[in-house]
Amino acid sequence: MTGHLIVTDEDATRVITMRRPEKKNAITHDMYRLMSEAIDTAQNNPAIRCLIITGGSGVFTAGNDLEDFVATATATTDSGPFGTSPAIKFLYSLAQNTKPIIAAVDGIAVGIGTTMLFHCDYVLASSTATFSTPFIHLGLVPEGASSLLMPRTMGHQRAFAMLVMGRKASAEEAREAGFVNVVVAPGHTEAEAHKVAREISALPAEAVAISRKLLKLPPEDLTRRIDQEGQLFGERMKSKEAMSAFKAFFGRKRA
């Protein structure tokens, strides 16, 4: 168990809250496991019509916990168990999820904090939110089927700037790029997400499920890409480029 991940059911909505503010909500293995479980157990529960994922006020998430990255990288063999990591399992849960999922992003969304949004159906961002996929700066490659979903949503050039150049996007740029629905005032994303959840929950459930499925890529296309990326990502985690980037991050406050 961890106090860093809170799951509550409020009316027909399951709310998944990352709460590790002292580490900018960096996601640990335990948090991934609990997020997967929250998504998976909602699937056959007819009382749950929507999911909300949030980091609360001020931060969404700084992405994968880098200490866990280092531990995984140093523990893996050449074939690498990264493909079975809790992060990959969480991404599978997202790819296979059949319920509308709403993200409330107030503050930074780094790495998987941004890539998970491409599996969501509705994204609210506060005006101070920023989105970045700095894999390149860590010597890594895209994950979470982002190499498939980001160009599909925003076009190759904008996806290149984010995924290959590691450029950050503001809330307004994210809205223009098409992966944020609406920008609201800081501190208001969660309340607005609940309004959206109530709107969706009032619609005919079966028709919502069928329509949503028509809009999405087949889950097997997503999981295939997650596996391809995961294999490369696992290899890259053990690279000199990645190891020296992790070391630089943890050494930066001592410099």
Q: Which residues bind ligand COA (CB under 6 A)?
A: 23-24, 26, 62-67, 108, 110-111, 134-135, 138, 253
Using alpha carbons, select from 251, 71, 63, 237 the residue that is nearest to residue 139: 237
* Residue with the two structure tokens 């959840």: 197
Closer by beta carbon to ligand COA, 139 or else 219: 139
Closest separation between CB of residue 167 and ligand COA, Å? 14
For 6, the 3-state DSSP assignment is strand
Closer by beta carbon to ligand COA, 14 or else 24: 24
Closest separation between CB of residue 137 and ligand COA, Å? 7
Closer by beta carbon to ligand COA, 122 or else 233: 233
Closer by beta carbon to ligand COA, 240 or else 253: 253
Closest separation between CB of residue 242 and ligand COA, Å? 10
Q: Which residue is nearest to ligand COA (CB)?
A: 111
Closest separation between CB of residue 211 and ligand COA, Å? 33
Closest separation between CB of residue 14 and ligand COA, Å? 25
How would DSSP label each residue in 164-218?
A: TS---EEHHHHHHHTS-SEEE-TT-HHHHHHHHHHHHHTS-HHHHHHHHHHHSPP
Helix then strand then coil, % of the chain, to nearest 5: 55, 15, 30
